[in-house]
A and B are shown apart, each in its own frame.
Chain A
Amino acid sequence: MRFFAGTLPALALFAFPLLASAATSAPAADAHAWWLWSLGMFVVCFFMGIAAVPAGVGGGVLFVPIVGGFFPFHLDFVRGAGLLVAMASTLAAGPSLLRNGMANLRLVMPLALSASLSSMGGAMVGLALPAQQVQILLGLAILTIAALMLLSKKSEFPHVPSPDPLSRRLGIHGVFHDFISGREIPWHVHRTPAGIILFLGIGFLGGLLGVGAGWANVPGLNLMMGVPLKLAAASSSLILSVASASATWYYLNSGAILPVIAVPSVIGMMMGARIGAHLLTVLNPAVVRKAVIATLLFSGLRSLLKGLGY
Chain B
Amino acid sequence: MKDSARMPPEEKRYADVLHWGSLAGFILLVLSFLLYITGTLPPQAPLDQLPRLWKLSTADYLAATHGSGGWHWITTLDKGDSLSLLGIALLSACPIASIAAVIPVYLRQRNHVYAVLCILTVMVLLYAASGMSLFRHS
Contacts and interface: CB of A to CB of B under 8 A. Distances in A.
Main secondary structure of the interface of B (DSSP, over half): helix
A305 interface: no
A170 interface: yes
A3 interface: no
Interface string B18-60: 1100100110011011001100000000011011001111100
Given A74-B54, A249-B92, A260-B37, A117 B124 contact: yes
A245 B114 CA distance: 20
Contacts of B30: 263, 267
A241 B95 contact: yes
A252 B54 contact: no
Main secondary structure of the interface of A (DSSP, over half): helix
B124 A116 contact: yes
Interface in A81-114: 84, 87-88, 91-92, 94-96, 98-101, 104-106, 109-110, 112-113
A74 B60 CA distance: 11
Interface string A55-76: 0000000000000000011101
Given A99-B2, A101-B7, A256-B58, A87 B91 contact: yes
Contacts of B89: 252
Contacts of B11: 98, 104-105
Given A113-B120, A128-B137, A94 B69 contact: no
Nearest to A76: B58
B122 to A, nearest CB: 10
Contacts, number: 187
Contacts of A104: 11
A283 B58 CA distance: 40
Interface in B42-92: 47-48, 50-51, 54-58, 61-62, 67, 69-71, 81, 84-85, 87-89, 91-92
B112 to A, nearest CB: 12
B102 A255 contact: no
B66 to A, nearest CB: 11
A98 B129 CA distance: 25
Contacts of B114: 106, 109, 170
Contact residues on B (Cβ < 8 Å of other chain), bracket: 35 or more
A1 interface: no
A109 B69 CA distance: 30
Interface stretch (A34-42, A145-153, A209-217, A294-302): A34-42
Given A99-B15, A169-B113, A105 B102 contact: yes
A112 B134 CA distance: 21
Contacts of B87: 263
A87 B36 CA distance: 22
25 contacts: A34-B48, A72-B51, A74-B61, A77-B58, A91-B18, A94-B22, A101-B1, A101-B2, A104-B11, A106-B114, A124-B135, A241-B95, A245-B94, A252-B88, A253-B129, A254-B69, A255-B67, A258-B54, A259-B88, A260-B47, A260-B54, A262-B88, A263-B33, A263-B84, A267-B30
Interface of A: 29, 31-35, 37-38, 72-74, 76-77, 84, 87-88, 91-92, 94-96, 98-101, 104-106, 109-110, 112-113, 116-117, 120, 124, 127-128, 131, 169-170, 177, 241-242, 245-250, 252-264, 266-267, 270
Given A35-B37, A94-B18, A99-B15, 20 more contacts: A32-B48, A72-B54, A73-B55, A77-B61, A88-B91, A91-B95, A95-B15, A95-B16, A98-B12, A105-B10, A109-B118, A113-B124, A245-B93, A246-B128, A253-B71, A253-B129, A254-B134, A260-B37, A260-B81, A263-B84
Interface of B: 1-2, 6-8, 10-12, 14-16, 18-19, 22, 25-26, 29-30, 32-33, 36-37, 47-48, 50-51, 54-58, 61-62, 67, 69-71, 81, 84-85, 87-89, 91-96, 98-99, 102, 113-114, 117-118, 120-121, 124-125, 127-129, 131, 133-135, 137
Q: Which 8 A-B pairs have the closest CB atoms?
A: A259-B84, A95-B19, A253-B131, A249-B128, A101-B2, A98-B15, A95-B15, A91-B22
